Amino acid sequence: MLSPDEAKDRCVALLRRAEAAGAEAGDTVYLANASQSVTVRLGALEDVERSESEHIGLRVFAGGGSASIGSTDLGDAALDELAQRAVAMARLAPPDRFAGLADAGLLLRDMPPALDLDDGGEAEPMALRRMAEAVEAAALAVPGVTNSNGGSASSGRSVFALATSHGFTGAYAASSHGISASVVAGEGSTMQRDYAYTSARHASDLRDLAAIGEEAATRATRRVNPGRMRSGAMPVVFDPRVGSSLVGHLIGAINGASIARRASFLLDRDGAQLFDSAITILDDPHVRRGLRSRPFDGEGLPTAARALVEQGRLTGWLMDSAAARQLSLAPSGHAGRGGSGAPHVSTGNVTLSPGTLSPAQLIADIAEGVYVTELIGSGVNGVTGDYSRGASGYRITGGVIGEPIAEFTVAGNLIDMFAALVAANDLEVIHGIDVPTLRIDGMTVAGD
């Protein structure tokens, strides 16, 4: 794996080759990852994995067309061939008046923010094994746990670099660490499985091993021998672990590419009051050590914090340069990049701001409802907003969370769901998208 400075130099070298081959403009990205993980099951070593990858991608513009190509070979001869092939492909490609680099005047020119994304360390395999053993042992020690799917620990590091023909170069490294446990509780047909995990940029920011194991075990034992739920319209309460998916659907719907294609259920709703005025959703790519933090976007534009929804009102679309040109708007600094191909929209660290009620207060007036802890399937229509997901969780009766239930469906339309959404005050910022406990009244539950 190259260092960030070496990666920048390699990207610039490939650009120079592309320009010599006839490219009118272009950009290059370098992506490298190295990771290792250890899994134990019932105290015995189950799996050890290590992976390393390195990829350089080139996008060029020539004769009105564009082409993208990539290689895992970073040698001089390979880069020469890569540049020549990319230019030849671009000259054969149909013209695309929206494709192109970002406006040079919008590029990040200042020093990028220091986000402390790399702790510089790499865990030893034996250290990972000890962590995996410890998290599983903590889960197995909880009464009611009858089997284990394993405890795991992982560590990794990545480098991203970007260079453009109109003057931007940037690179950064990021580390990643994770611990998880998955266990089974109960016997026979009553058995249930659940899990817990923690992830962080710095190993020192991981949650306590014992707490992760105990959380996985507690979640599994509470789900043993689930019942069924009657069908009908009722309040649905989403555990924070699954409630974040609702924000994910919002992000997909405000993607500028979807808006340009007129394939979003939020089409023509820019500036609309989608949520109650108590709801604000923030995107902050500059969180120190954040899981989705980044100093610049995939086109070299500066990133910055912004409200996606402010006091319930949608603030606009998330756009790379191509979508912005189609919509006659400005790019928003949300471009992401893969190893090859055009940019796509991605976000930073997203949070739905907490409300004023505790989770207990949020459900206190629910005579009958469901508390969802797991969603199954992908029954969401991004064009119409129709929502239907298999689920499991707990029955709410008389304002209290009761016995476990499974094999039911929750359904509605995301426009109506957003309007009815109420947030509790238990927000924890521990993942890339974080929400507190969420309540939505009037959803359809299909059970028995």
Residue 83 pLDDT: 96
pLDDT recorded at residue 300: 97
* Sequence-separated (6 or more) residues with CB below 8 Å from residue 109: none
Q: Which residues pair with 180 in a beta bridge?
A: 152, 197
Q: What is the 3-class SS of the chain, one letter each residue?
A: CCCHHHHHHHHHHHHHHHHHCCCCEEEEEEEEEEEEEEEEECCEEEEEEEEEEEEEEEEEEECCEEEEEEECCCCHHHHHHHHHHHHHHHHHCCCCCCCCCCCHHHCCCCCCCCCCCCCCCCCCHHHHHHHHHHHHHHHHCCCCEEEEEEEEEEEEEEEEEEEECCCCEEEEEEEEEEEEEEEEECCHHHCEEEEEEEEECCHHHCCCHHHHHHHHHHHHHHCCCCECCCCEEEEEEECHHHHHHHHHHHHHHCEHHHHHCCCCCCCCCCCCECCCCCCCEEEECCCCCCCCCCCECCCCCECCCEEEEECCEECCCECCHHHHHHHCCCCCCCEECCCCCCCEECCCEEEECCCCECHHHHHCCCCEEEEEEEEECCCECCCCCEEEEEEEEEEEECCEEEEEEEEEEEEEEHHHHHHHEEEECCCCCCCCEECCCEEEEEEEEECC
pTM of the model: 0.94
Question: What's the start-to-end Cα distance of the chain, in Å?
Answer: 55
Domains of the chain: 4-221 (3.30.2290.10), 226-448 (no CATH)
Question: Apex CA 427: angle with CA 425 and CA 428, to 5°?
Answer: 150
Please check whether residue 445 is in contact with residue 236, taking contact to mean a CB–CB distance below 8 angstroms: yes
Per-residue pLDDT of the chain (448 residues; tens, 9 = 90+): 999 999 999 999 999 999 999 999 999 999 999 999 999 999 999 999 999 999 999 999 998 999 999 999 999 999 999 999 999 999 999 999 999 999 999 999 999 999 999 998 788 999 999 999 999 999 999 999 999 999 999 999 999 999 999 999 999 999 999 999 999 999 988 899 999 999 999 999 999 999 999 999 999 999 999 999 999 999 999 999 999 999 999 999 999 999 999 999 999 999 999 999 999 999 999 999 999 999 999 999 999 999 999 999 999 999 999 999 999 999 999 999 988 788 999 999 999 999 999 999 999 999 999 999 999 988 899 999 999 999 999 999 999 999 999 999 999 999 999 999 999 999 999 999 999 999 999 999 998 8
Residue 339 confidence (pLDDT): 81
40 touches 150 (CB < 8 A): yes
Quick one: which of 366, 59, 375 has its CA closest to 239?
Answer: 375
* Calpha distance 31→53 (Å, rounded): 8
Residue 448: what pLDDT? 82
Closest CA to 179 of 134, 148, 218, 243: 134
Angstrom distances, CA of residue 266 to CA of 84, 222, 258, 344, 364:
42, 38, 10, 19, 32
Which residues lie below 8 Å from residue 381, measured CB to CB, with a gap of 6+?
265, 387
Predicted local confidence at residue 121, as pLDDT: 78
The answer to whether 327 touches 335, Cβ cutoff 8 Å, is no
User: Which two tokens mark 445?
Assistant: 């539950």
The answer to whether the CB of 318 falls within 8 A of the CB of 254 is: yes
- Write the CB contacts of 399 (distance below 8 Å, at least 6 apart in sequence): 363, 364, 365, 366, 367
* 356-386: pLDDT as tens digits: 999 999 999 999 999 999 999 888 999 999 9
